[in-house]
């Protein structure tokens, strides 16, 4: 793993552009921004549509954990004192808290496959 001397990001060697002088140890993004390479030479950069699709996949992967945190927060603030809705929402939160990690681990191969499908290679 090499470090870009401009942005200080750590990348694999194939993400750095080769060359001597100002091109030495520069990642493709910084090289493109500074004019060291053209957009066609930057093989590891994503276009806007691919970036959005990858962010959607990542968001779908981790969103259930945020919903559970939000649910427990709302339950402890508002629903814990209510006799009927407090117990009903507690049961739903307990079930979802147990199911979400299992679904997270079972969905790992699909997540990796979707990210590979949207890679640059």
pTM score above 0.85: no
| pLDDT tops 90 at residue 109 | yes
pLDDT 10s digits, 58-106 = 999 999 999 999 999 999 999 999 999 999 999 999 999 999 999 999 9
> What residue spans define the domains of the chain?
2-34, 48-117
Q: Give residue 9's pLDDT.
A: 92
How do strand 10-11 and strand 2-3 relate by DSSP bridges? Answer: antiparallel
Mean pLDDT of the chain: 92
| pLDDT tops 70 at residue 120 | no
Which one, of 7, 9, 30, 27, lies nearest residue 17 by Cα?
A: 27
SS3 content of the chain, % helix, strand, coil (to 5): 65, 5, 30
pLDDT 10s digits, 12-52 = 888 899 888 888 999 999 999 999 998 888 888 888 898 89
Cα 6–chain centre separation: 24
CA distance 83 to 66: 26
Using pLDDT thresholds of 50, 70 and 90, give the confidence band for residue 121: low
- The two three-digit tokens of residue 69, written as one number: 């945190």
Residue 74 CB neighbours (<10 A): 13
Which one, of 107, 118, 119, lies nearest residue 63 by Cα?
A: 107
Q: Give residue 1's pLDDT.
A: 86
CA distance 103 to 93: 15
């Amino acid at each position: 793993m090499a470090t870009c001397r401009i942005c200080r990001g750590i990348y694999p060697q194939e993400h750095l552009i080769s060359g001597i002088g100002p091109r030495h140890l520069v990642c493709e993004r910084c090289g493109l921004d500074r004019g060291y390479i053209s957009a066609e030479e930057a093989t590891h950069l994503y276009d806007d549509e691919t970036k959005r699709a990858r962010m959607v996949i990542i968001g779908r992967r981790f969103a259930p954990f945020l919903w559970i945190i939000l649910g427990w927060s709302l339950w402890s603030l508002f629903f814990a004192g209510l006799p009927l809705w407090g117990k009903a929402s507690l049961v739903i939160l307990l079930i979802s808290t147990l199911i979400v990690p299992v679904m997270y681990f079972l969905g790992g191969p699909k997540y990796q496959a979707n990210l590979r499908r949207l890679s640059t290679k």
